[in-house]
Amino acid sequence: MAGKINFVDGGSVTTPGGFSAGATYAGLKTYAEDKLDLGILLSDRPSSVAGVFTTSAVRSPTVTITQERVSSQSKVRALVVNSGIANACVGEQGYLDAQEATAETARRLGLRSEEVLMGSTGIIGVELPMALVRTGISQITPSEGGGNDLARAIMTTDTHPKEGAVAFECSGKTVTIGGIAKGAGMIHPNMATMLSFLTSDADVEPSFLQRALSRAADSSFNMLSVDGDSSTNDTVLILANGAADAGIIEEGTPTGDLFQEALNKLCIHLTKELARDGEGASNRLIEVTVEGATDLTAARLAARTVVSSSLVKTAVHGADPNWGRIIAALGRSGAEVDEGKVALYVNDVCIMEDGRPIPFHRDGVVALMRGLEVSFRIKLNLGQSEATAWGCPLSEEYVTFNSAYTT
Amino acid sequence: MAGKINFVDGGSVTTPGGFSAGATYAGLKTYAEDKLDLGILLSDRPSSVAGVFTTSAVRSPTVTITQERVSSQSKVRALVVNSGIANACVGEQGYLDAQEATAETARRLGLRSEEVLMGSTGIIGVELPMALVRTGISQITPSEGGGNDLARAIMTTDTHPKEGAVAFECSGKTVTIGGIAKGAGMIHPNMATMLSFLTSDADVEPSFLQRALSRAADSSFNMLSVDGDSSTNDTVLILANGAADAGIIEEGTPTGDLFQEALNKLCIHLTKELARDGEGASNRLIEVTVEGATDLTAARLAARTVVSSSLVKTAVHGADPNWGRIIAALGRSGAEVDEGKVALYVNDVCIMEDGRPIPFHRDGVVALMRGLEVSFRIKLNLGQSEATAWGCPLSEEYVTFNSAYTT
């Protein structure tokens, strides 16, 4: 069965061996029954770590401290994460609060502060109420079944938690990668932030772990957001603790390739979940694949530009096969395009070839565009590179929601 | 009075001396009383010309032919323009049709084909019905009062025509610059295209005319559209025919500076009109000024990124002083930002200083944000460069309109 990657039923961030999690309601979000806003992820042994962080010039001290710790040491043990408040635009106090929250978590778990990372998401310009955070941390007891609680504790505008896990065989052992993620607004990661926390019981060579995460993020989370878009708090972390006891996984080996493929699969799964749960998306997904581009950069640029076009998004909302908008977005994307060579498919129905529309059964295509998944496949016929991007329709609900959302 | 630039009451593209215009309903748009869809602009003498065109890889042959004629000769006489059909994505036929339309116009006016330019806007993927175009051209008789008709003939989703003219004294004569423009969708120039046609009775040295137009477009029309956004048909043209008999205007002279300033003023006026008439904008305008940037590129990038953020646009629609969204857009813009130095003003009320929110009277700011013009002034306090960008709120009406808009 080597080489086969399977999704684990009901998988989450605590599915890989040696990981536990827990969460509580600390009072950082408006109260509702069953609401959680503070959580902890714990590895029972030192874990390799890698991260991908916001590139914004305005960033939360939570991110700064976490990024420092990820890059300055090879092993960590835990993560504390809060939702409701982003701990951004609060000056020096934000650093002190993030330091204290990780120190408090370390104390609770019997670790060193430096072994604890942090994530924050929520409104910006508001200080963390540290008395509530301290009390909250003292109430959390991580357990092996706690992944779903943690997935719920990081939600802000999300309507449901996003989780998943994949597994594959390696040296006769089962290796698992699990993860959770939270929401993206509709057009790009909301200032409310895109967070994803991944775990694995694989023992991954640390520099490979970082490259594998960066590659996975480039073909998943970064294909959800518009080019350059990034909030103050965006963070993707992976902890790999080796609990599967399956030997060290290195780059350029069959097992390394399998690990990369499994990680990509999981990240793409979470990305599609984020797109479907975009504000006002009503669980509908847009997938744009660009084939035959001159190079990967061009393919990604074109796919991202089309999927993030408001005119394309509203056309999908209205189930309108408005190919002109797709071609217009493609044309301005910056990717090399030879108009006379372009072909376009809507859910596998060809509606344009050689740069010109072909007669198609409009009612049939409209029916396809009413489905939960609408895919546009664009063939540039210029080269061999391909990329896929994900997004969701732009609906009136998105506007209403974001007009009413309070500061 | 030298140095003074005045707007001309009721000014339009035919206000400058020597220009006439006319329009007709040729049948390219759905019929409605008073609807016009084909027009001609004529100069009574050879006119210098300059243009700024879409940078899209997919472009209408109308644009290609016009751009070739603008760059291959210094003088032209006329322009024919149609709305309703963009003459884009129709293969070789688009070139033949654009050539024929300009030849037909030349014949009607007693000119050479090469002296006639063309503009098109409307749906793409549909061939121009040349029998209607030919008949239409034969019905148009340009007149000195025809500017408003031409402004109406280029409208697509616009709710009203955009026109204007400015005048200044030069060598004892009055020099006038006039212009018309048509719409931009809300987020960026719709595939239905941004067109602007400008005229002047000044005698402007041709290479200066091109540089002056590029500079004016960079600080006006290009600050309305999102960076890189461009439709298949975007075109800005200026014809300068010297009818004012005020001597040649050259770069680097006081008169040259005055001409540039007047042209900027007119283009900014038309840009603001385009923003106000954005789809779903309900005549409301957002103005974002970034001051104290390290350089002009950074200032423009920051201003454009903020004004084109869907989260900022929806916040203005909801009259919500959600400064976090502004700061988040600023942070991801790519411009250099030192969070601790940022100040933010909403319609001149300071709500953030040194990167932190300051207590402000929320109800007062909300009231300001309900007005027809909402301005955000961002001080980066890093350098001396400044830029302004314009946009409009994102409303439910925009989504409804663009979901229902037919292919």
Residue A49, H or E segment: strand A38-53
Q: Residue B157's CB: how many other CB atoms inside 10 A? A: 18
CA distances from A271 to A54, A298, B361 (A): 16, 21, 40
pLDDT of residue A332: 87
Length of chain A: 407
Backbone angles phi, psi at B255, to 5 degrees: -70, -40
Mutate to test the interface with A, among B90, B188, B327, B332 (most CBs of A within 10 A): B332
Question: Taking the C-alpha atoms of A350, A354, A355 and A356 in order, what is their torsion angle to the nearest 10 degrees?
Answer: -70
- Which of A356 and B165 is assigned the larger pLDDT? B165
Kindly give the residue spans of alpha helices, DSSP state H, lying in B110-253.
130-139, 147-153, 206-218
pLDDT of residue B291: 98
Per cent of chain A over pLDDT 90 is: 72
pLDDT band per the 50, 70, 90 thresholds, residue A227: very low
CB A263 within 8 A of CB A354: no
Q: How far apart are CA B240 and CA B243, in angstroms?
A: 8
pLDDT of residue A225: 62
Q: Residues near A253 by Cβ (< 8 Å), separated by ≥ 6?
A: none
Residue B197, H or E segment: strand B195-200
The stretch B298-327 carries a mean pLDDT of 89
Distance from CA of B43 to the nearest CA of A (A): 33
Q: Which residue in B82, B31, B399, B16 sits closest to B239, CA to CA?
A: B16
- Which of A174 and B58 is assigned the larger pLDDT? A174
Alpha carbon A119 to chain centroid, angstroms = 14
The stretch A213-219 carries a mean pLDDT of 95
* Residue type (1 letter), B290: V
Distance from CA of A114 to the nearest CA of B (A): 26
Residue A346, H or E segment: strand A343-346
Would the pLDDT of A188 be above 60?
no
Contacts of B406 in chain A (CB under 8 A): 320, 322
Across all residues in chain A, what is the average pLDDT? 91
Length of chain B: 407
Contacts of A354 in chain B (CB under 8 A): 91
CB B312 within 8 A of CB B306: yes
Q: Give the 3-state secondary structure of residue A342.
A: coil
DSSP state for residue B165 in the 8-state scheme: E
Say what the ipTM of the complex is.
0.81
Q: What is the pLDDT of residues A316-331, one digit of tens each?
A: 998 988 888 899 899 9
Q: Residues near A96 by Cβ (< 8 Å), separated by ≥ 6?
A: none
The stretch B24-43 carries a mean pLDDT of 91
Per cent of chain B over pLDDT 90 is: 72
pLDDT of residue B117: 98
Q: Token pair of A69, please? A: 């710790």
pLDDT band per the 50, 70, 90 thresholds, residue A190: very low
pLDDT of residue B120: 95
Report CA torsion sign: B253, B259, B263, B266.
positive
pLDDT band per the 50, 70, 90 thresholds, residue B185: low
Q: How far apart are CA A316 and CA B128, in angstroms?
A: 27
Winning range, highest mean pLDDT, from A202-206, A231-235, A390-394, B318-322: A202-206
Q: Residues near A33 by Cβ (< 8 Å), separated by ≥ 6?
A: none
From the candidates A54, A102, A156, A193, which is the catalytic residue? A193
**Rounded (10°) angle between helices B396-404 and A310-317:** 70
Q: Which residue in A102, A163, A132, A174 sits closest to A27, CA to CA?
A: A132
Do the Cβ atoms of B58 and A185 come within 8 Å? no
SS (H, E, C) B47-81: EEEEEEECCCCCCCHHHHHHHHHHHHCCEEEEEEE
Q: How far apart are CA A402 and CA A399, in angstroms?
A: 5
CA distances from A330 to A303, A309, B189 (A): 8, 10, 14
Strand partners, B83: B121
Would the pLDDT of B1 be above 50?
no
CA distances from A175 to A1, A236, A246 (A): 13, 20, 7
Q: Residue A218's CB: how many other CB atoms inside 10 A? A: 16
Domains and CATH numbers, chain A: 6-276 (3.60.70.12), 285-391 (3.10.20.340)
Would the pLDDT of A244 be above 70?
yes
Residue with tokens 């400015």: B166
The stretch A97-107 carries a mean pLDDT of 98
Partner residue opposite B328 with nearest CB, options A58, A228, A333? A58
Q: Token pair of B31, please? A: 């019929």
Across all residues in chain B, what is the average pLDDT? 91
The stretch B132-146 carries a mean pLDDT of 97
DSSP state for residue B213 in the 8-state scheme: H
Partner residue opposite B56 with nearest CB, options A231, A332, A407? A332
Q: Give the 3-state secondary structure of residue A84.
A: strand
Partner residue opposite B399 with nearest CB, options A327, A334, A395? A395
Do the Cβ atoms of A407 and B323 come within 8 Å? yes
Partner residue opposite A403 with nearest CB, options B317, B321, B406? B317
Distance from CA of A174 to the nearest CA of B (A): 41
pLDDT band per the 50, 70, 90 thresholds, residue B46: very high
Q: Token pair of A190, please? A: 């909301």
Q: Give the 3-state secondary structure of residue B314.
A: helix
Strand partners, A175: A168
Would the pLDDT of B184 be above 70?
no
Q: How far apart are CA A156 and CA A162, in angstroms?
A: 12
Per cent of chain B over pLDDT 70 is: 94
Q: Which residue in B261, B268, B254, B203 sits closest to B5, CA to CA?
A: B261
CA nearest to B362 within chain A: A407
Would the pLDDT of A185 be above 90?
no
Chains A, B: CB contacts within 8 A come to 193
Q: Token pair of B166, please? A: 């400015």
Burial of B113 (0-12, 13-18, 19+ CB in 10 A): middle
Q: How far apart are CA B370 and CA B360, in angstroms?
A: 17
The stretch A247-269 carries a mean pLDDT of 97
CA distances from A255 to A173, A402, B166, B306 (A): 12, 45, 71, 45
pLDDT of residue A393: 87
CA distances from A47 to A41, A68, A70, A209 (A): 12, 16, 11, 11
Residue A83, H or E segment: strand A75-85
Q: Residues near B110 by Cβ (< 8 Å), separated by ≥ 6?
A: none
pLDDT band per the 50, 70, 90 thresholds, residue A350: very high
Do the Cβ atoms of B407 and A327 come within 8 Å? no
- Which of A120 and A56 is assigned the larger pLDDT? A120
DSSP string, A181-222: EE---SSS--TT--EEEEEESSEE-HHHHHHHHHHHHHTTGG
Contacts of B124 in chain A (CB under 8 A): 324, 327-328
Q: How far apart are CA B87 and CA A156, in angstroms?
A: 46
Would the pLDDT of A220 be above 80?
yes
pLDDT of residue A226: 47
* Active-site residue flag, A193: yes
Q: Residue A367's CB: how many other CB atoms inside 10 A? A: 12
The stretch B377-406 carries a mean pLDDT of 85
Q: What is the pLDDT of residues B216-260, one digit of tens each?
A: 999 999 898 643 456 788 999 999 999 999 999 999 999 999 999
- Which of A327 and A406 is assigned the larger pLDDT? A327
Q: What is the pLDDT of residues B141-152, one digit of tens each?
A: 999 999 999 999
CB A80 within 8 A of CB A114: no
Q: Are strands A373-379 and A19-24 parallel, antiparallel or unpaired?
A: unpaired
pLDDT of residue B191: 43
pLDDT of residue A381: 98
Q: How far apart are CA B355 and CA B344, in angstroms?
A: 9
CB B64 within 8 A of CB B246: no
From the candidates B105, B156, B157, B193, which is the catalytic residue? B193
Contacts of B59 in chain A (CB under 8 A): 331
